[in-house]
Each structure stands twice: as C-alpha cells, then as structure tokens.
C-alpha cells in the first residue's frame, strides 16, 4: 500500500494507491446516513424533547438543521454531542454484509467527518469497530474535507462532499438529498451490491466483484 500524504499547508490531494493489482480500486464510504442511521435517532430525540411528531417524509429536500426552528438547533447539537448518541445508532440494513464482500476486490476506507464535533471522534471509532470489525483501524479516516481525496469511488449522502471528491461520486439516498439529480444514486446497500458485485456465478460459490468501467451498460442498469 502506498499513500501520498498532504503537508499541513498544502492544497494537493491525498492519493490512495495499491500494489495489489491494477484492477483493484479504492472505495471510500461515508458513515452517517450510509452506514449509521443517525437521522432517525435525531428525530426520536427531537420529538421527545419538544413533544413534536416530526417524520422522515417532512424532511424531503431539507436537512433537519434547516427544518427545525432556529432556537431549537442548539438542541440538535446537544443531542449529537451526548456521550451515548453514536452508541445507540442502528446499522443501515445490509451494509455489513455487502461491505465485507466488497473488500475482496476494493480497498475499502470509511471516510467520516468529525471536525465540527471533535468529541465524536472516539464514539464514531468505537461504533465502527463494534459493527464493522472487519475494517482495519488503518482504513478508518476522519476528514474535515473529502475534497482532498483523489481516485476510486466515494459513496456519500452529502452533495457537497460528492462535488468536492476527485473520483467517481455515488450518492446514497437520504431525505435531504432527494431533489439532487447530478449524481449516480443508490437507494440501499442492495443497490450497491448489484452495482459492484458480479453474482452471475453465485450458485457455484464463485461470486466475484464486478470490475467493469463506470460507463459500462451493466453498471448503468444497476443504478435505480
């Protein structure tokens, strides 16, 4: 494995590479709303504190921070900063099984942001190690700006991060990004499974990764 690290005052991108074969690519995966269901926990805590009935459907096209009254934003921040917030987060369905399989052909990194809430560093790390123990610690990366990463794929729910990424950006559906149309979109980890895995020989026990070009019609068909 080789890494090109960015000096503290440099604007150059960090490049991840591999010596395990030219076909093997890097896959960066976001944590919140892609692996961990943070939004449902936020809604639960918000409704409990303010005796509201906010639902997922009401957040279509809007982040929860922009939806709630301004005087309640601090409460959302307080919830995230609580000691047990990340501990309670549910795992997004099928993400563990699919991500473990993808490791066969991709160098998988978990790329998650903690700069706005640095106290989340340890809780996020512990959550990932508990639910995704097959991801080595060296492949868990905490970023302030994913735009410094270049190459491979990024699966993320945040349009801003996808626009900055220097590679193939894939949007994981969430209520807030429902109206965004500029990226390839997957609605679940089953979509990701079909996009990146070749199941044609599954019955023979020879299931492999689908190492095809981004413009291949098979890959386009796999996108919902």
Active-site residue list: 30, 32
Is the separation of the CB atoms in 198 and 210 below 8 Å?
yes
Residue 169 burial (C-beta neighbours within 10 Å; 0-12, 13-18, 19+): buried
| Pairing relationship of beta strands 166-172 and 149-156 according to DSSP bridges | parallel
Q: Write out the two tokens for 23.
A: 């076909």
Distance CA 47, CA 64 (A): 12
Q: Which of 158, 163, 219 is nearest to 193 (CA)?
A: 219
Termini Cα distance of the chain = 34
CA distance 39 to 44: 9
């Amino acid at each position: 494995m080789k890494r090109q690290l960015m000096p503290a005052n440099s604007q150059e991108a960090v490049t991840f590479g591999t010596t395990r074969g030219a076909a093997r690519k890097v896959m960066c995966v976001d944590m919140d709303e892609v692996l961990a269901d943070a939004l449902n926990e936020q809604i639960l805590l918000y409704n409990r504190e303010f005796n509201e009935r906010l639902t997922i459907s009401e957040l279509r096209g809007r982040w929860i921070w922009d939806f709630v009254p301004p005087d309640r934003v601090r409460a959302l921040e307080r919830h995230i900063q609580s000691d047990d917030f990340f501990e309670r987060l549910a795992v997004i369905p099928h993400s563990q099984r699919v991500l473990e399989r993808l490791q066969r052909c991709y160098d998988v990194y978990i790329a998650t942001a903690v700069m706005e809430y640095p106290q989340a560093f340890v809780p996020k790390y512990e959550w990932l190690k508990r639910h995704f123990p097959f991801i080595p610690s060296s492949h868990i990366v905490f970023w302030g700006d994913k735009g410094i990463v270049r190459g491979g794929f990024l699966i993320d729910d945040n349009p801003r991060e996808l626009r900055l990424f220097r590679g193939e950006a894939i949007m994981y559906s969430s209520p807030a990004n429902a109206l965004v149309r500029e990226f390839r979109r997957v609605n679940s980890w089953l979509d990701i499974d079909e996009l990146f895995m070749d199941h044609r020989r599954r019955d023979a026990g020879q299931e492999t990764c689908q190492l095809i070009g981004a413009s291949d019609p098979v890959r386009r068909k796999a996108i919902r």
